[in-house]
Amino acid sequence: MVVYDRSSAGELQVIDRWSGGVGWVAHPDETGMRSSHAIVADDGVWVFDPIDGDGVDDLIAEYGTVSGVAVLSSYHARDAGAVAARHDVPVFVPQWMERIGERVDAPLTRYDTRIDGSGFTVSRIEPLGMWQEAIAYRPEDGTLIVPDIAGTGPGYTVADERVGIALSHRLVPPRETLGDLEPDRILFGHGTGVLEDATDALDDALHNSRRRFPRALVKQLGTNSRLLLAAMKD
């Protein structure tokens, strides 16, 4: 199975659908399970970390007109430029995030902590070196987007976990960034979202990641190594 499928996408797999948005996976068979989302805001629809493919525009149009495209990880340039160009909107990137400018062929709008118009505020986290990500949270409806440090895709969860912390950070989970949040739904850059009892699932992940580290190391080391090596080629 290919880790990250760089070919043109075929039929999308829709995930995470709720009244205020939708998520999709453009390459359902890839190990990395890269997820993208379109979320309704007061000023239109915001698209987060998109992977392009046939039917993406039709899927987004079910929710409204695109107001902006946002990239939340230094390794998630993905197809943000292509989607933004088609909808004639800029790509929104935090002031401090590197790598994206040279990988996106579209106008960039830099911001500090709030993505204007979307309702989302971001928190900066830098797990390793050039791995920088913005945790996006909108308290008005409890929507939390975690691009990389946690997820549900291959390489994240063990046992009966509904949310898994990245193997590299199970011993030092991001409690300062995520511990005080009470999301109603959690959307991820890798894997399907958690749309029910999300706060409980997040609390379990943060408080038990260290205890489950040995099991995760045995189960996930090989997968994580392949994911990391593939990401470095981006």
Residue ranges of domains in the chain, CATH in brackets: 13-231 (3.60.15.10)
pLDDT, averaged across the chain: 93
Q: What is the mean pLDDT of residues 162-178?
A: 96
Residue 234 banded pLDDT, cuts 50, 70, 90: low
Environment class of residue 103 by beta-carbon count within 10 Å: exposed (0-12), middle (13-18) or buried (19+)? middle
Residue 227 banded pLDDT, cuts 50, 70, 90: confident
Q: What is the pLDDT of residue 8?
A: 77
- 0.85 exceeded by pTM: yes
